[in-house]
């Protein structure tokens, strides 16, 4: 509703995991984003690369349900200090 706006093009660029049993999985995730910000005067800045990396956990309390948590931490100077993803899913 005001202030700075940004365009972001990103995707999970990679993940790897290891399942110890069916209830808990542990892995590693990364995300690369290209971001540019528009200031209050409507001027867009240059595209900046943001790279975050961190662990990922998946917990399956029920057969159809999964809870995914991925706290990702900035790996370069343009990246945010942290991004946290939480997904609660139900498979039909």
pLDDT tens digits, one per residue of 28-38? 999 998 888 87
d(CA 69, CA 29): 11
pTM above 0.85, yes or no: no
Residue 24 near residue 33, CB atoms below 8 Å: no
User: With 70 as the cut, is the pLDDT of residue 9 above it?
Assistant: yes
Q: Where are the domains of the chain?
A: 5-90
Residue 18 near residue 24, CB atoms below 8 Å: no
- The pLDDT mean for the chain works out to 84
User: With 80 as the cut, is the pLDDT of residue 90 above it?
Assistant: yes
d(CA 24, CA 67): 10
d(CA 22, CA 77): 38
65-74 sheet: strands from edge to edge? 5-19, 24-38, 48-59, 65-74, 82-90
User: With 70 as the cut, is the pLDDT of residue 15 above it?
Assistant: no
| Structure confidence at residue 7 (pLDDT) | 73
User: With 80 as the cut, is the pLDDT of residue 41 above it?
Assistant: no
Residue 92 near residue 64, CB atoms below 8 Å: yes
């Amino acid at each position: 509703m005001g202030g700075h706006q940004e365009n972001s093009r990103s995707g999970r660029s990679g993940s790897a995991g290891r399942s110890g049993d069916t209830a808990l999985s542990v892995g590693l995730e990364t995300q690369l984003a290209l971001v540019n910000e528009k200031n209050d005067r409507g001027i867009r800045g240059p595209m900046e690369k943001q790279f975050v990396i961190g662990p990922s956990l998946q917990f399956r309390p029920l057969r159809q349900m999964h809870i995914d948590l991925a706290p990702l931490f900035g790996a370069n100077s343009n990246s945010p200090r942290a991004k946290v993803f939480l997904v609660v899913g139900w498979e039909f």
